[in-house]
Chain A
Amino acid sequence: MGKVFKYTLIDLARNRFVLGYALLMLALSQGLFLLEDDPMKAMLSLVQVVLALVPLIALIFTVVYLYDIQEFTQLLAVQPIARRSILGGQLLALATALLVAQGFGLGLPLLVHAPGPSALMLSLSGSALVLVFAALGALIALRQREKARGVGMALVLWLGFVLVYDAVLMWLMFTTSDYPVEPFVVPLAALNPIDLARILVMLEIDLAAMMGYSGAVYKSFFGSAAGMTMAGAILVLWVLLPTWGAFRVFRRKDL
């Protein structure tokens, strides 16, 4: 696995998309911090950018990259190495490249302009989103043979997490507003990794108070050490389950 990881990472280190991602994040982060006098306000804007952009880029890049190296993956699969080593090396390299790019583009400006626990939480949540959506991207690329359909599925998934899931939850809360179901409905947001990341950052910045009753529910649910541990565990599950699925598909896949 280490050998595939090493050379895939060398390839990715010169990949224009990865470099572009790093520079885009740097431009956005730096730009927001320079435009806003209050670093906390800049960070709030940055949260929205990270929550929307990071999943999209991690998902689409993983899908496209895995399709583009399909023939080479075939050549690797003819070598005397196990398939799990091939996929493991490729996924690890993809995640590392995206995380390093994000560390440069997002982590560095955060460290310079707003060092502290909130910045750390935003960096960690962004990193978790990279891992979650890279894993989901791998699962899509391996399950779907056609590139165009794979990219389409990735976009639909992203839209689902960014827009549709929240819209459904809000509709659910609206239609059941006569009943005290909020404590049951609001935690459902945690099943969406983007919402979960948002909640964790909001709680760290202490913006939950501005979110009214929902914020109070979040705080009571995730505000404690146990709640944070659970949130972390859910995010880890969001990484592990699609990764496990991708390995399972790849082991049986006809290349």
Chain B
Amino acid sequence: MAEARITCEGLGKRYGALWALRSADLTFHKGEVVMLIGPNASGKTTLIKCLLGLVHPTEGRITVEDTVIDARARAPQPDYRNSIGYMPQISQFPPSLTIAQLFAMMADVRGLAPDQLDDRLIAELGLDRQLDKRLSTLSGGTRQKVSAVLAFRTHPTILVMDEPTAGLDPVSAARVLKEAGALRDHGGTVLITSHLMEEVEALADRVAYLEDGALRFLLPVNVILERTGATRLAQGLPRLLEQMNEHQRTH
């Protein structure tokens, strides 16, 4: 078994009376891609935001490498986020900055010199000809490309992608997913939420399924397919859920 990179123990988040995430115990390893799926409001985004430090957990703790984020303690120093790349679902940037200025800003914020950055994606996604364009003039798809570059260029070891292919053209989407795969192959941990299972299943090593704020299972893709006799996740997942519901009813 690969070494653990992120461990969540009894992780929970409550908004008022509503538990968006309850008692989640899960571990993400080095060198794997985990697909987080579940219906709307199942707790996927809350889980991701807890990991990223955007949301303060109500209970439990998260260990990212050597850093502990404990619901009962003060938030840790932000240095641990040096290893994190994040591609949000909605990419909005300061409207009057140019793409080049945004890239410079984010490198500055991390204190990285140009030679410490991986800028291959800028050209590969066709952004090199648009660096002087203001961010307010970009289409949603181009903003997503900018977001992808920002997520990858700092050599993260943990990559969190929230609906990464939404708004991207198929070629760019495939390129971004290929890069995520390469990161995994170099020992990185990639967490992806997506409703488009077909796009991501070839990449995923394990699938975490959340429902009503609770983790129902975290299983390797091949185990899901074996247990259900399906050839694709899109078929296997509903069958597995059916099996689990049936098991619950009979026990």
Q: A-side interface residues toward B, CB under 8 Å?
A: 3-4, 6-8, 10-15, 68-72, 74-82, 252, 254-255
Contacts of B75-130 to chain A: CB distance below 8 A: 77-82, 84, 86, 88, 90-97, 101-102, 104-106, 108-110
Q: Are A71 and B78 in contact (CB under 8 A)?
A: no
Interface centre among B78, B97, B108, B150 (most CB of A within 10 A): B78
Known contacts A8-B94, A79-B106; can you find 15 more A-B pairs with CB under 8 A? Answer: A3-B108, A4-B109, A7-B101, A10-B96, A11-B94, A14-B134, A71-B88, A72-B92, A74-B54, A75-B86, A75-B93, A79-B81, A79-B109, A81-B78, A255-B49
* Partner of A69 from B56, B79, B92 at Cβ < 8 Å: B92
Q: Interface readout for B25-49 with A: 1 if CB under 8 Å, 0 if not?
A: 0000000000000000000000001
Q: Are A80 and B81 in contact (CB under 8 A)?
A: yes
Q: Are A254 and B49 in contact (CB under 8 A)?
A: yes
- Tell me what chain A mostly uses at the interface: helix, strand, loop, or mixed: helix
Could you say which residues of chain B place their CB within 8 Å of the CB of A8?
94
A-B contact pairs, 30 of them (CB 8 A): A3-B105, A3-B109, A6-B105, A7-B94, A7-B101, A7-B102, A7-B104, A10-B96, A10-B97, A11-B97, A13-B96, A68-B95, A70-B92, A71-B88, A71-B90, A71-B91, A75-B86, A76-B109, A77-B54, A78-B53, A78-B54, A79-B78, A79-B81, A80-B80, A80-B81, A80-B82, A82-B77, A82-B78, A252-B56, A254-B15
B55 CB within 8 Å of chain A: yes
By size class, the interface of chain B is 20 to 34
Q: Are B95 and A80 in contact (CB under 8 A)?
A: no
Q: How far is the CA of A77 from the CA of B56 in the complex (A)?
A: 12
Q: Are B79 and A80 in contact (CB under 8 A)?
A: yes
Could you say which residues of chain A place their CB within 8 Å of the CB of B77?
82
B225 CB within 8 Å of chain A: no
Q: Are A12 and B53 in contact (CB under 8 A)?
A: no
- Given A78-B81, A81-B78, A254-B49, are A72 and B93 also a contact pair (CB < 8 Å)? yes
